[in-house]
Chains A and B, each alone.
Chain A
């Protein structure tokens, strides 16, 4: 839908075209207007408005349009293609490192049922079938009819030179576009590719170190409200606002 409504502008100087979504135009114009209004106010509130509005406009103008319905990432893992392939081929392993996946259950050798966390933590379900595979090299799959979303995925495993391990390339396309379920993350350009990179980083840690590094559950001294808000801004969490606000308010209660 958003695809159809794109406004196309041509960058004549460089002879290539860019496209901006209506939302980005809105953010650019709205943010700019707010900034100009703020500047003319000449008061602390005005400065705040100008800063906020200016930031919105700047981000809208400079943010690279990320492909909204696909994710790609690559990682080098210090392991053999066989080992990484085996691990991935058992799709039930995927939620262990993809933190937006809730569960994957095997229906038979080629079919599996997936549940992911959508925007706001709403579950999204689909059934997938492997459509192509070459042992230790490649797996591709797609979703079947009657799914909440349509998904096409592929992963390739290649030996890296000089015994450095395995290069893993993942590409997933889905429609309709979901964003990342985290407006702030989208806004900071921590889009689907970023999320996928974090997933693959966790895969690397699982295979190389046998565990994913974590600080969840550590103790700490009193946190203030601002720190809590900063925690909310963590774009690597699947549904950050829900989980972090709870923590923040708990910390506030402890302080009181």
Chain B
């Protein structure tokens, strides 16, 4: 089958690899109909997340048809022919964490638990196509994928819903929603959202669903800011203001946004000396993450407010204003999304026609063009917001 493989920093390649097989009783094989490049894949592309290996198959946003099931799967849970969206987190369903609905913290789904344990004390759940530290599972930017614990994660999609409305239930729609949930929004709140990428776009809309009065979105690309405005947000282009924190204060009667959402993560951009220092340290791998947004969010957040972090961080950060965080009595919440909590309710919204997530798509291309799309997406060329790959289109002919 065709699969997008990581071949080194800024090097992706579509390789022909053996089709996946069932390795465990609760596995299923899914024939993929649609798959996406996620913003978090760009951290791997740029080489800032440890334990990627050459030849690893990328991708954690995919959906398709079940074509093979392991002996441990009950037909009432999943059977051949089911059309499913697969969540990017892998969960066993029976451990302490799964029983508490903390699905992305499953204790039994990471075969390389010890690697994450070295870096984080404990390991979160396994993830598809996202480093060996997170399990080393084969990803879904391919024609087929093996799905472990397939009776827990995948959710069946009714026939009437096309792929492009369902595919984002695999990660970014629930992740954006989770960002808003973690912010503990109260009616009338003002929420600041850093970043206007796909996750942020869903966060902005989810904030309104959860009762926010105002959402202020921060980015530097006009096409992304316009998309945020279309979702009801006011916007700040941080390249056009001296000080994002002061601008946010000025926009909120000098009290600050009640809730701050960091939908950017480890490769944030900014201007100024501090940013240059972070950039250099990250280049030298002294500091894995650039915590530009975290610093601003902690500074800008109203006293007693909440900072929610759905953006991905991988390692260690420098000079985060802990004094401000402590003395202002802030709350910070973070995490990979507990997918299985939100997929069904959000699918219901799509099914009822209340919400159409397909608005974020900017590119629909054959899988053969994935390597160049990584670069276009990373460099924000061609007004790129979201790339959907068709694993079966004949790219050689189409391109």
Contacts and interface: CB of A to CB of B under 8 A. Distances in A.
A184 to B, nearest CB: 14
Contacts of B20: 218-219
A76, A210, A220, A231: most-surrounded residue (chain B CB, <10 A): A220
Contact of B54 (A194, A211, A221): A221
Q: Is chain B's interface secondary structure helix, strand, loop, or mixed overall?
A: loop
Contact of A78 (B18, B94, B112): B94
Contacts of A96: none
A204 B56 CA distance: 28
Interface stretch (B133-141, B200-208, B249-257, B362-370): B133-141
Contact of A213 (B24, B54, B94): B24
A214 B24 contact: yes
Contact of B126 (A211, A213, A216, A217): A213
A230 interface: yes
B138 A223 contact: no
B55, B72, B99: most-surrounded residue (chain A CB, <10 A): B55
Given A208-B92, A210-B25, A219 B114 contact: no
Contacts of B114: 194, 197-198, 235-236
A83 interface: no
B238 interface: no
Interface residues of B, number: 44
A205, A212, A213: most-surrounded residue (chain B CB, <10 A): A213
A89 B96 CA distance: 24
Contact of B15 (A212, A222, A226, A236): A222
Contacts of B149: 209
B107 interface: yes
Contacts of B15: 221-222
A32 B126 CA distance: 40
A78 B109 CA distance: 15
A216 B17 contact: no
A227 interface: yes
B176 interface: no
A212, A222, A230: most-surrounded residue (chain B CB, <10 A): A222
A81 to B, nearest CB: 16
Interface in A4-25: none
Contacts of B110: 213
Interface in A62-90: 76, 78
Given A164-B96, A211-B24, A215-B23, 17 more contacts: A78-B99, A201-B113, A205-B108, A208-B107, A209-B92, A209-B93, A209-B94, A213-B111, A215-B136, A219-B3, A220-B5, A221-B3, A221-B15, A221-B57, A227-B53, A227-B55, A230-B53
7 contacts: A78-B96, A205-B92, A210-B25, A211-B72, A214-B24, A215-B138, A221-B56
